[in-house]
Amino acid sequence: MFNKSLTVVLPVYNGETRLRKSVHEILELASELTSKFGVLIIDDGSSDDTFEVAEELAAHYPQITVRRHRQRRGLGSAIDYAQRRLRSDAIIVHDGVTPIDAGEIRSLWRRWSSETPAGIIDVAEPATMQDSMSDLAKLPVIHAAMERAHGRLLGFQMVSPLPFDEAFAELGAEEAATMLRSDSPRKQRNSGIGDVPSMPRPKFFKTLANFALGE
C-alpha cells in the first residue's frame, strides 16, 4: 500500500439524500489506497439537513471532519481552504456539483502515485523576482490552458497544499496559530493525515476553478 496521506474534500450543497452513500463509498475506496486518509465535508450553505447528516457521519467515522459555510461560496473557496489548511501529501477536491464517482479518486491517486517517488517530497523554493517575471511572461499560455480546461473541470481534481509561508501570508497571528494547532477539536483526531506540503505553484488550480465557474 502506498504510504502517503490523502484527504478527499467534498463541498456539498443540499446533498442530504446522497451524502451518506457517497461518503461510505469514498471511505471504502480510500482505505484500499492508503492507511492515512481523511474526508473533509464542507456544507456550502445548504438549506436542507446536509450539515446534520455530515455531523452524524463524523460521529461514526473518525476520518471525517466537517466545516460549515453559512452562505454558499462555491468551489474556489473550498480549494483555497484545502490548500491553506490541509497538510496531506495528496488532496482531491470534488466540484460540488456533478454526481460523485469514487472511481475518479482511484484514477487520480494512481496517476499522482506514479509521479511521486516514495520518500521524495517536493518543497517549493522561495520565489524570486526573476521567477515572478517569468510567471508574468507565461500568462498568455496559462490563459489558453484555462480555456481548454474550462469544460474539463468536473468531478474530482487533484490540488496541491500551499507552502507554509504562503499559507500564512494572508492570515492573522491568531488564525495562523489556530491553523498550526488544529482547525477544530475534531480535527485533532486526524493528526495523522500528513504534515508535509508538496508540489509548488498551486495558485493555478484556484484560478482555474474560479475561471471555470465564472467567479
CA distance 142 to 205: 11
CA distance 55 to 61: 10
Average pLDDT per consecutive 10 residues, the chain (215 residues; last block may be shorter): 87 96 96 96 97 98 96 94 93 94 94 73 51 58 50 79 62 48 41 41 52 55
CA distance 89 to 68: 24
Contact indicator for 19, 147 with CB cutoff of 8 Å = no
What torsion, rounded to 10 degrees, do the Cα atoms 124, 130, 134, 135 define?
50
* Domains, the chain, with CATH or none: 6-212 (3.90.550)
CA distance 159 to 76: 12
Check residue 122 and give its pLDDT: 46
Check residue 123 and give its pLDDT: 43
Check residue 131 and give its pLDDT: 57
CA-based torsion, 15, 21, 22, 26: positive or negative? positive
CA distance 103 to 120: 26
Of 46, 90, 37, 92, the C-alpha closest to 65 is 37
- If one counts every other C-beta atom within 10 angstroms of the C-beta of residue 206, the result is 19
Check residue 3 and give its pLDDT: 82
pTM: 0.65
